[in-house]
Amino acid sequence: MTYIPISPKERDAMLETVGVKSLDDLFEAVPAKHRFPKLNLPPALTEMEAMDELSGLAQANENVRADLVSFLGAGMYNHYIPSVVDHILRRGEFYTAYTPYQPEISQGTLQATFEYQSLMSALTGMDVSNASHYDGATAAAEAVNLAYAQFRGKRRKVVISPTVHPQYRAVIRTYAQGMDVQLAGDDANANLDSDPNDLANLIDDNTSLLIVQYPDFFGRVYDYTKLIEAAHAKGALVCVVANPTALAMFKTPGSMGADIVVGDGQPLGIPMWYGGPSVGFFTTRKQYVHKMAGRLVGETVDNRGQRSYVLTLTAREQHIKRERATSNICTNQGLIALGTAVYLSLLGKRGLRQVAELCYQKAHYAAQQLSKIKGMGLCFTEPFFHEFALCVGRPVEEVNAHLLEHGIIGGYDLSQDYPALNDHMLVAVTEMNSKEDIDILVEVLSEVSHD
């Protein structure tokens, strides 16, 4: 990006043009008491002093790269991020680009988004992907909007599995408030061990959408094919919230018959940061593309017959369709989406599968070792991916405080969302956890159980 300096001469010329004598005169319209508030800043530091101060502050942080071992997941996962991802993201051409309205000057950004869409469609087994949403939870809420619009508001019930991420369900509840949509199945006290096919009993002629998670919040992997068939038999659409890493290893939601697949792209090369920013992916079947929210990039040819990219099907979006549009949000997370595309391109099909398999194997080793500890045990028996609910026999808060003393971030405290899962934590294991890390976790938890 060009840096445009300003010299005193240029500033005076501008002031003269607008007809004021000084900068103070320019700000006269602002009431004096609001003009220059006292900031009470400490005395200025030299660069050397500032560096010292800032590195001191930075060192107070502990991070999962060097200081701590983490077994915390529940929607955000600690994966290895190749350094190329960051180098591409920091290029000014991508870093500063806003929504590419003008294809004449935005081919790079448009093509990057197109590649992202293609990768997401392939990963989920669906026809089309939009240019992304804020995060997985808002993408899931947009699925509710799509289904509502598809049935023109005539079906007003949405069935959600209680094993969809609690925070996703909370966001969907917020969206549903103003829409006169009733939610069914969204019950933290439900039997969490019941057959997902039982959800079909909640689906009726008034149901627009069924939402399930894959793997579910507890890491369990189910084949939803029959459930989706049952939902379709009632005329309802089905949205699957998916973990993208798991899709490299398991059957795609597309092949199970899902109509919409959403999820959080964070596991694909995006740091956990402090819980965001992230990126939500949204893919669907071709027949629903006109009801899909968000931006969409398409491939075309320019007036010289060369391959090029443009925003397409824009008449469905709110700036044209106004209040009749499916959603009022078409903002995408362009930069973060690009990060996931770079990550996927670097790893390729085989690389991503390798990551998924490492997660799977290590998580199963951890589960096996942990369940040997006296007084602890796995909560569920179904097949799982890289996360599992573990009963630790005492409040998770206590256990995690003890783990932290040993440099370990323990699992997610499930009692905050599911009253029945008191003393249960959700343990996530990725390729970042070595066998030694897992063995130390087992050792420290064994100590806890003997206390």
The binding site for other proteins (CB under 8 A) comprises: 152, 290, 313, 315-316, 320-321, 324
Number of Cβ within 10 Å of residue 77's Cβ equals 25
Residue 286 CB, nearest approach to other proteins (Å): 12
Hunting for tokens 């039997």 — which residue is that?
Answer: 191
Pick 33 or 322: Cβ nearer other proteins: 322
- The full DSSP string for 282-333 is EEE-GGGGGG--S--EEEEE-TTS-EEEEE--GGGSHHHHGGGSS-S-----
Which among 318, 342, 325 has a CA at the least distance from the CA of 99?
A: 318
**Residue written as token pair 């180098």:** 87
State which amino acid sits at residue 115.
Answer: E
Place of tokens 């070595």: 434
Closest approach of Cβ 302 to other proteins, in Å? 16
Q: Which is nearer to other proteins, 119 or 325 (CB)?
A: 325
- Considering the complex, state which of residue 33 and residue 324 has its C-beta at the smaller distance from other proteins: 324
Cβ distance to other proteins smaller for residue 317 or 387: 317
- Residue 125 CB, nearest approach to other proteins (Å): 24
Residue 213 identity: Q
Q: Rounded to the nearest whole angstrom, what is the least distance from the CB of residue 230 to other proteins in the complex?
A: 24
Residues comprising the chain, all counted: 451
CB nearer to other proteins: pick between 317 and 417:
317
Dist. CA 144–CA 278, nearest whole Å: 20
Q: Cβ closer to other proteins: 290 or 349?
A: 290
| Minimum gap (Å) between residue 253 Cβ and other proteins | 25
CB of 321 to other proteins, least distance (A): 4
Identity at 252, one-letter amino acid code: T
Q: Return d(Cα 372, Cα 383) in angstroms, integer.
A: 18
